[in-house]
A and B are shown apart, each in its own frame.
Chain A
């Protein structure tokens, strides 16, 4: 569970202060699938980065799975990210010099796991995205949709409670995008919460909950209780 109280974010450059996010309250329950929509520059990525502890917020408080993150050290935040959060990026962010297997292995290596445990998790995650047979290939040998599947495998191998995705289908055609959406829905059905930024109204419509951000102001869109969906 994720709970934010009076959270806000401003960027200060030499002369200009940009209020990227106005103060807001938000709770996301375990297992929810939340879509974030809004025009370009409205603050969606900022929101996602704060949620995933990639950036600090200015005011307010934030509890991630019961941990108050406000005074955590950089090291503790890294550990929390590694264990609680899985990231999926618009441009996949795979490491080109590593095979699919080693790409999925990368975040697991920052944890104290036995090599047997890591191997099982990697093969399991690659199996879930349907790419186990290509474990020794390099990212450049795959299509965009397949690369994003590897990135998803990398994100879920760590068994996070939250998956954060910033326009995961932004670089894909609609057919590949549909595959990724179906995969995310599958993962969500297993109990992992998903927060996904999207520009596609159809994708947003498939989420249980939609949050719209406009000029840094968060507002709740539709909300479907999971039981009903």
Chain B
């Protein structure tokens, strides 16, 4: 550390270039740490579970024809046929599924009045098989039962009388005693509905909606012209179940099937844009890191070239190759440390501001600490080669170069 003091003294005389480098490192450090934190937060959001038995599910929509009665009967026949397959555990009709970005949102309140609305929620109409098919977990009350279920062509929520709600919705309605919502009457679009049970997790169809965690499952089978059927295959037999169901469907003439997809496919399509953002962020982070490392490398090389004579003089006056190498490594370490220190201070101040004014989450300190360590190590690696070049400057330069 015998070089530390002289290095700091040279900074006093020659402030600009180390200062610029310190600022560059501080800025990169702040941006990198925040970007990495954003990316990790985002990726964690992406892998958030929907609460469904994702790996066993697939769904599709199919056409129903004829009078109301005929459509209703056709739907029940389809469901019974699918259910009868050995590779299928359970099948239900449902008006929509989470992550499909398609469905109905309804206002939920404790009275019919609009002003008393508690929140919005995603709406699903289904039947007594829904809990089994989706793999939901009833945490209070009971599941839907056969005699709860009504039939309707469309707008089922106006006809149903019993509903399941998600635990988050129950909590929203009664934060201090969510489970007591079972047995209560809530108003869905001003229509009274009795809450018969609460399921642990059920999301609405829109991931970025404020009420993503709020869902109502009404006990109504809608036999619309395009009805959706969701199937739960026997564990690890989904592929077989999908092909069997597909074959079965097309035994009926004039059958139309749309969106025949596994749940992972639905999920992947939904997350695609976010994955793209996340990938872009990764590329930006990597590029930024490269630019900074190249910057440190370039600056060090330039300094070595500029100070060739000075290095030669030091060698002539007794510096060993190790002394020269050490000098540049320590100089870089000092600059990096000052840079990450400044960056940390900026990050902390910025975080206080962001948290207070925008309610954003602050970057946790372990990100700052590991970011600082990585930054200093990267700086040392970047400077190592130029420092080696410096140590190989021949001492004779001192008397030769003008």
Binding site for B on A (CB under 8 A): 45, 48-49, 52-55, 74-75, 78-79, 81-83, 87, 89-91, 93, 95-99, 102, 105-107, 109-111, 138, 154, 158, 166
In the assembled complex, the CB of A65 is this many whole angstroms from the nearest CB of chain B, namely 15
> Is there an interface contact between B13 and A75, defined as CB atoms closer than 8 Å?
no
Given A54-B396, A55-B395, A78-B318, 11 more A-B residue pairs with CB atoms under 8 Å apart are A52-B316, A54-B394, A54-B395, A75-B320, A78-B319, A78-B320, A81-B317, A97-B14, A98-B6, A106-B6, A110-B318
- Within 8 Å by CB of B399, from A89, A105, A106, A158, lies A89
Describe B's contact surface by its main secondary structure: helix
- Within 8 Å by CB of A93, from B6, B10, B313, B320, lies B313
> Is there an interface contact between A102 and B318, defined as CB atoms closer than 8 Å?
no
A107 CA / B10 CA spacing, docked (Å): 16
Q: Mask for B90-131, Cβ within 8 A of A = 1, else 0?
A: 000000000000000000000000000000000000000000
Q: Mask for B152-171, Cβ within 8 A of A = 1, else 0?
A: 00000000000000000000
In the assembled complex, the CB of A188 is this many whole angstroms from the nearest CB of chain B, namely 20
Top 7 A-B residue pairs of the complex, sorted by shortest distance between their CB atoms: A82-B318, A97-B10, A107-B317, A97-B13, A93-B313, A110-B318, A78-B320
Residues of B within 8 A of A87 (CB): 313, 316-317, 398-399
A169 CA / B328 CA spacing, docked (Å): 33
> Is there an interface contact between A48 and B321, defined as CB atoms closer than 8 Å?
no
> Is there an interface contact between B317 and A106, defined as CB atoms closer than 8 Å?
yes
> Is there an interface contact between B10 and A49, defined as CB atoms closer than 8 Å?
no
In the assembled complex, the CB of A9 is this many whole angstroms from the nearest CB of chain B, namely 12
Residue of B13, B310, B317, B321 most packed against chain A (CB within 10 A): B317
Q: Mask for B362-402, Cβ within 8 A of A = 1, else 0?
A: 00000000000000000000000000000000111011101
Does B2 reach chain A (CB closer than 8 Å)? yes
Does B314 reach chain A (CB closer than 8 Å)? yes
> Is there an interface contact between A99 and B318, defined as CB atoms closer than 8 Å?
no
> Is there an interface contact between B2 and A93, defined as CB atoms closer than 8 Å?
no
A166 CA / B401 CA spacing, docked (Å): 13
In the assembled complex, the CB of B357 is this many whole angstroms from the nearest CB of chain A, namely 43
Query: B residues 288-345 with Cβ under 8 Å of A?
Result: 309-310, 313-323
> Is there an interface contact between B13 and A138, defined as CB atoms closer than 8 Å?
yes
- Within 8 Å by CB of A55, from B309, B317, B396, B402, lies B396
Nearest chain B residue, comparing its CB with the CB of A138 = B13
A93 CA / B10 CA spacing, docked (Å): 16
A110 touching B399 in the complex, CB below 8 Å, given contacts A75-B322, A97-B10, A97-B13: no
Does B251 reach chain A (CB closer than 8 Å)? no
Does B146 reach chain A (CB closer than 8 Å)? no
Residue of A74, A91, A93 most packed against chain B (CB within 10 A): A93
A95 CA / B357 CA spacing, docked (Å): 50
Does B252 reach chain A (CB closer than 8 Å)? no
Query: B residues 1-57 with Cβ under 8 Å of A?
Result: 2-3, 6, 9-10, 13-14
> Is there an interface contact between B321 and A102, defined as CB atoms closer than 8 Å?
no
Residues of B within 8 A of A107 (CB): 317-318
> Is there an interface contact between B399 and A54, defined as CB atoms closer than 8 Å?
yes
> Is there an interface contact between A83 and B318, defined as CB atoms closer than 8 Å?
yes
Residues of B within 8 A of A109 (CB): 2-3, 6
Nearest chain B residue, comparing its CB with the CB of A75 = B320
> Is there an interface contact between B316 and A54, defined as CB atoms closer than 8 Å?
yes
Cross-chain pairs A/B with CB under 8 angstroms, 16 sampled? A45-B399, A74-B321, A78-B320, A78-B323, A81-B318, A81-B395, A83-B318, A91-B402, A93-B313, A95-B313, A96-B13, A102-B6, A106-B317, A109-B3, A154-B317, A166-B399
A82 CA / B13 CA spacing, docked (Å): 26
Nearest chain A residue, comparing its CB with the CB of B319 = A110
Residues of A within 8 A of B322 (CB): 75
Residues of B within 8 A of A79 (CB): 318, 320
